[in-house]
Structure 1
């Protein structure tokens, strides 16, 4: 069963000591010289199992260290991080991603990792380009756990049953809309549609904008205009009214987690997500998943895609165990045994040695994500500038609520676009 919050404690011997959620939760006694590291992340049950398996392996090889892990999903994760920042008690190791590393490093949540290289953290093999993905203002604030990009997932079995060809590498947004409507009609079910109401996804909006010469953010803050937003919202509203997207009440369930996405819930034939999440989606679905690029504005035109660190480990600025935390991260990204436990659930490994070692062990779904990333080589553009302070708030508190109002027909396209830019500028500026 998937739950939104999980907390785990691993004893120094490497066995689970019990849950630590409530006052009655089991707790192990720590020796005076024992180092306890708190690690916090979001993700599926599968991610939690893999993470804990690596923590157990690390403890077996490093006596005297205990890893206490906590997994939260949706907005609860960012609320917890904010609470910890305010209380100066940030987890020793916590998970970020490209949209948030710049924001949180500039807010003082992270510890710069440069002093730990190479004594505790070996990252030279990743290459300069990969390290630049987690570098802000000349300092390294995190280590990428894998490489990914945006993607379109689809239920291959549903498409085969309907006799409809799924979207491909050169599918345009217009063609995608026709496919989505066709799939909705072919299903003939009131609670099943072709695809999501994708206006809600900031990363899909970013790709859409990049295909048109703009971007979600630039060095001055927001990188798009009211007219850009109007075109974006109008596309999705037209598709919704044609019956190609899930209904508003289904889409608002999506908390940017796998188990709340309309595809995983069985309400749509297609979904938009990050490529590494294919592993988690397939575990929840009966049909065989397919993966391809997001639609594009014109055939042969820019894809809007770019390589990005799927997820990032950062060290909390308030930690008393910076060196030990860096050693754990080093183990997580460089140890071959750890790499085999993790697979590609957090993206294609950054370490060439780990990548080469795990390839023969991957199942067909995992291999498909690697093939997808490799196949983007001639399709990706340059990595965008770091997201500004306030970008997390923009996504959670501005884009999603305005989009929900639009989908529920409580606001017009024009008003939604104007508010998105106006409130977005205020939030980014305030940050």
Structure 2
């Protein structure tokens, strides 16, 4: 039964990691519109932009993002505010969770009907830009339509490819570990600013003995990258070269936690689905911890409904470098096929630079990139949001430079990693077996994607 389950999971994961030419997913996003007359922007080829905006006629924009219920609520509220201030603009919003988002976006790209405004991730930016799907925003910045005067140059450059800007960061965040204060206190342990993986393993045993609550050890691509960075390297450099050093640490650590009774079981982890905020095992107290990114702390805390805290993402024992980094939490890009690029750019400017807008969002996508806006809303943030501000400030003091944007083929590598990691969790492969399978297959994926 285990083998059959692993095979099914493997096929599902590989199919999920489609390229831009993929056929789309079965995940259907929720759609809402603030006006019955709203129409979906579906342009299959680029066209002259903004003629209707210039004449004062009604302009329809479409906006697509991945998210959870908290993000959906605040984003729609912000969009409604924008439309009330710009009555000639109607914005149709469309969202789904992370696991279905990239399949959906891939299908839309293949059909030539990407939304005007796309929530973009750092790891997918190169892929979409290289295939000509994203508009160059540099001209709107040069003209001042998108005001960048209060945005650090390094943040602007995070959305650059080949010297041009294809994405605007929506906030800064960092890898984090979330933990339940009450459970930790009951176990009589103290969580330091940054654990090592070995310390996390030892803590997991104590917490399980004292409280019966299990530990989550993440096995996703973010953890792979953290392992490589702590080992003084970069994941995709190692995979392109066929190097196994960091991946041995990664898969053997998964095996170590999987064999421990203090860890959440593979079956329960699959049932809970930690990729979705509302079903993360920390939400119902199945685990005392979660490994994520800081911009998700607000949503996780709200879904859990109890007092949670943040500490730094774990590193490895005898780390060669500090693996933590500041990351653009996500971006907004404009589709090259959009017929209303200028109007879309105006929305990006407002979303980024409006204090009124960010008083609604309250750093849910990360700390605002406009420094004046960040200072303005920090004083109005509730204790949960304030914890995110404080955490990002702490990481800023020790962060090392972020890896280069992920190469083409990253999605397939990530799906392969999930499948191989799951095999280790279920006991169908050892850590060494996983390394021997994953590294050459990942190297081949990257080589094929680069052609």
TM-score > 0.5, shorter chain as reference: yes
Shift of 1:392: 2.1
Q: Which residue of 1 aligns with 2:33?
A: 9
Q: Which residue of 2 aligns with 1:181?
A: 205
CA contact (8 A) 2:244 2:435 kept: yes
Give 1:19-418 correspondences, 5 Å limit.
33-117=57-141, 118-166=143-191, 168-188=192-212, 192-194=213-215, 196-199=216-219, 201-218=220-237, 222=240, 225-253=243-271, 254=273, 256-298=275-317, 302-395=321-414, 397-418=415-436
Shift of 1:147: 0.3
CA contact (8 A) 1:296 1:302 kept: no
Distance 1:154-1:202 versus aligned 2 partners, 3 A rule: same
**SS of structure 2 residue aligned to 1:171:** strand
TM-score (norm 1): 0.89
CA distance in 1, matches of 2:235, 2:262: 25
Q: Deviations over 1:168-227 (max 9, x none)?
A: 224222111101122122223xxx412x2312x211221121111111223x86477223
CA distance in 1, matches of 2:100, 2:403: 27
**SS of structure 1 residue aligned to 2:403:** coil
CA distance in 1, matches of 2:246, 2:436: 10
CA contact (8 A) 2:64 2:118 kept: yes
Q: Which residue of 2 aligns with 1:425?
A: 443
Q: Deviations over 1:313-354 (max 9, x none)?
A: 111121111111111111111011001001011000000121
CA distance in 1, matches of 2:198, 2:418: 23
Structure 1 alignment gaps of length 5 or more:
21-30
TM-score (norm 2): 0.85
**SS of structure 2 residue aligned to 1:39:** strand
Taking only aligned residues, the RMSD between alpha carbons, in angstroms, comes to 2.3
**SS of structure 2 residue aligned to 1:414:** helix
**SS of structure 2 residue aligned to 1:46:** helix
Q: Deviations over 1:89-112 (max 9, x none)?
A: 001111112111122222222111
CA distance in 1, matches of 2:194, 2:65: 35
Structure 2 alignment gaps of length 5 or more:
1-26, 41-54
Shift of 1:17: 8.3
Distance 1:311-1:120 versus aligned 2 partners, 3 A rule: same
Q: Which residue of 2 aligns with 1:24?
A: none
Q: Which runs of 4+ in 1 moved over 6 A?
A: 16-20
CA distance in 2, matches of 1:409, 1:146: 39
CA distance in 1, matches of 2:270, 2:127: 25
CA contact (8 A) 1:37 1:321 kept: yes
Q: Deviations over 1:30-49 (max 9, x none)?
A: x9931111101111111011
Shift of 1:398: 0.8
Q: Deviations over 1:123-162 (max 9, x none)?
A: 2321211111111121111000000010000011111122
CA distance in 2, matches of 1:4, 1:233: 33
Moved more, 47-56 or 248-257: 248-257
CA distance in 2, matches of 1:233, 1:419: 11
Q: Deviations over 1:20-76 (max 9, x none)?
A: 9xxxxxxxxxx9931111101111111011111111111111121001001101321
Distance 1:8-1:66 versus aligned 2 partners, 3 A rule: same
CA distance in 1, matches of 2:312, 2:235: 19
**SS of structure 2 residue aligned to 1:7:** strand
CA contact (8 A) 1:207 1:303 kept: no
**SS of structure 2 residue aligned to 1:153:** strand
CA distance in 2, matches of 1:19, 1:244: 52
CA contact (8 A) 1:75 1:255 kept: no
Moved more, 73-82 or 358-367: 73-82
**SS of structure 1 residue aligned to 2:31:** strand
Shift of 1:18: 10
CA contact (8 A) 2:413 2:445 kept: yes
